[in-house]
Structures are given as structure tokens and as C-alpha cells.
Amino acid sequence: MQNNVLYITQEGLEALKLEMHNLKEVKRIEVAQRIKLAREFGNLDESMEFEAALDEQAIVEARIQEIIEVLQRAQIPELTITGEIVVGSRVTLEIAGETELFHIVGATEADPLNNKISNESPLGAALVGKTKGTVVEVAAPIGLTSYKVVHVE
């Protein structure tokens, strides 16, 4: 059942736990209050506020279930002393003579605009398991791009 594992960083795990706490302890209560208030105004068939609150409740509950599923499958890979790139590694790459720092993260944490790339993305998948000095080539919309691993931490 190893294929059901969802790799995540420690930071990503903590963020999910915090979001779950906020959803359960704050958002759920706020939405329940909105529903209760809307019910007090009567005629629920025509209450846009009641409908909006029910919609928000459904969204909150769906997100809670999604987080539960992620947490059940989450695994934090151990950083290696061999210098191999894993989820959680910060990697400096040389691309066309320029260097750039990337953080390899799990799919649920990916944020390419902030250089957080998923281990499941083409670049992330090509980098996982590689070490300093390795060159990987990845197909991109502009063609094949070469990335040299300059530093791994």
C-alpha cells in the first residue's frame, strides 16, 4: 500500500493541522451561528443567507474530510545524509547559467510562484533521488531544459 503514501514536509504537515484546527474550532462554529440566525428569520425557502451558510458549511466539511484523508496518507521523508534530494530538500539549481533555489514539497504544498515544486511535477520527479553535481533534463513548453544540481540541503 506504499502507493497511497502522500509525501509532505514537516511545515506542510503543521500547516494542515493548523488549518484543520481552525476549520473545526472556528469556522464550523461561525457557520453554525449563521445557520441558526438565518433560521430565526423564518421563511427558509427564500433566505439567501440560509442558502449561503449551508453552502459554506458544505465547503468547510468537505475541506475537513480532504485534510483528514491527506493526514491519514501523509508521510514525512527523512532527509538523507547522502545528499539525495527528497521531499523537504532545498535545492539550488543552475539553469542556463543562473542559479535558483527550489524547495521540493509534496503535491498538496506545491506553490510554483514561490519556488515550492511538487515531487510529482516533471522537475520534482526528475530531481528526487539525485545528488549535487547531477544534471537532469526536463521537457518544458519551450523544449528540453537542463538543470544542474549545485547544492542540496
Q: Count the alpha carbons within 13 Å of 28 in the hemisphere toward its beta carbon.
A: 11
Q: Please, what sign has the CA dihedral across residues 127, 133, 137, 141? A: positive
Q: Would you say 89 and 104 are in contact if contact means Cβ atoms under 8 Å apart?
A: yes
CA distance 19 to 31: 16
What residue type is assigned to position 55 of the chain?
Answer: D
Beta bridge partner(s), residue 94:
99, 148
Domain boundaries defined on the chain: 2-75, 90-152
CA torsion, points 16, 19, 24, 28, in degrees to nearest 10? Answer: -140
Q: Would you say 13 and 20 are in contact if contact means Cβ atoms under 8 Å apart?
A: no
CA distance 90 to 144: 23
CA distance 85 to 102: 11
Radius of gyration of the chain (CA): 21
Domain 2-75, architecture per CATH: Orthogonal Bundle (1.10)
Cell digits of residue 36: 441558526
Cell digits of residue 101: 533555489
Q: What is the pLDDT along the chain (153 residues), one digit of tens a residue?
A: 345 888 899 999 999 999 999 999 999 999 999 888 888 877 666 678 888 899 999 999 999 999 999 999 999 887 767 789 999 999 999 998 999 999 999 999 999 999 999 999 999 999 999 999 999 999 988 889 999 999 999
- Classify 90-152 by CATH class: alpha beta
Considering the entire predicted model, what is its pTM?
0.73
